[in-house]
Amino acid sequence: MKTRPVRPLRLYVGLVGLLLCWFWLVPIAHAATARAELKDERGTTVGEARLQDTPAGVKISATFTALPPGERAFHVHAVGKCEPPFESAGGHFNPAGKQHGRDNPQGAHAGDLPNVQVTATGRATIEVVIPDTSLTSGPAPLLDRDGASLVVHEGADDYRTDPAGNAGRRIACGVIRESRQ
Ligand SMILES: [Cu+2]
Ligand SMILES: [Zn+2]
């Protein structure tokens, strides 16, 4: 029986391939992702969101299926706790200590997001990136010790009035939980 010696070239190509795979796969495996299921005060699920670390910041993709039609405020709140009437979620995520609102000269909170436009059938989608933020790493991660949550309000955010944009009652809330994709 003949033994086939491993050719050096083949071995080399194989090793380089392995290394390339490693460099591709390791960052992908380490990019944090998270989910949030948003429920109203009665515990009915009204939407869900996926969150993902990207080089630009945390990307939030949310889909709502059962909200009151119209324009509704949507924010990241600083505490991962959703007990009706959702005051448990705390104020807006605000690691930089700013005031509320993109139209406020002293603003904005990192957790200030655009209003969602809810259709007559209660549906809305939104995709937004929170710049210079990460889910689990860096100096001010979203998922710090007390977590974070996503909150929808009864009214629209005026993007100016501190501390919460005159958005009214909190009508839906979802705790952001780290997930594997
Ligand atoms: Cu809010
Ligand atoms: Zn705010």
Fold of 32-179: Immunoglobulin-like (2.60.40)
What are the tens digits of pLDDT across the range 85-110? 999 999 999 999 999 999 999 999 99
CB of 56 closer than 8 Å to CB of 131: yes
**Which tokens is 176 given?**
């952001």
Clarify whether 170 is annotated catalytic. yes
Check pLDDT > 80 for residue 8.
no
Residue range 153-178: mean pLDDT, rounded: 98
Active-site residue (options: 30, 75, 162, 177): 75
More confident residue, 11 or 76: 76
Q: Which DSSP category does 19 fall into?
A: H
Tokens 């509704």 sit on residue? 72
Pairing of strands 149-153, 170-175: antiparallel
Residue range 122-150: mean pLDDT, rounded: 96
Instruction: Tell me which ligand sits closest to the C-alpha of residue 92.
Output: 2
- pLDDT band, very low/low/confident/very high, at 1 (cuts 50, 70, 90): low
Instruction: Tell me which ligand sits closest to the C-alpha of residue 96.
Output: 2
Give CA–CA dist 175/173, Å, rounded: 7
- pLDDT value at position 97? 97
- pLDDT band, very low/low/confident/very high, at 157 (cuts 50, 70, 90): very high
- pLDDT value at position 180? 78
- pLDDT value at position 31? 74
Check pLDDT > 90 for residue 119.
yes
- From the centroid of its chain, how far is CA 73? 15
Domains of the chain, residue spans = 32-179
pTM given for the model: 0.84
CB under 5 Å of ion ligand 2: residues: 92, 100, 109, 112
Residue range 78-91: mean pLDDT, rounded: 98
Clarify whether 92 is annotated catalytic. yes
Check pLDDT > 60 for residue 160.
yes
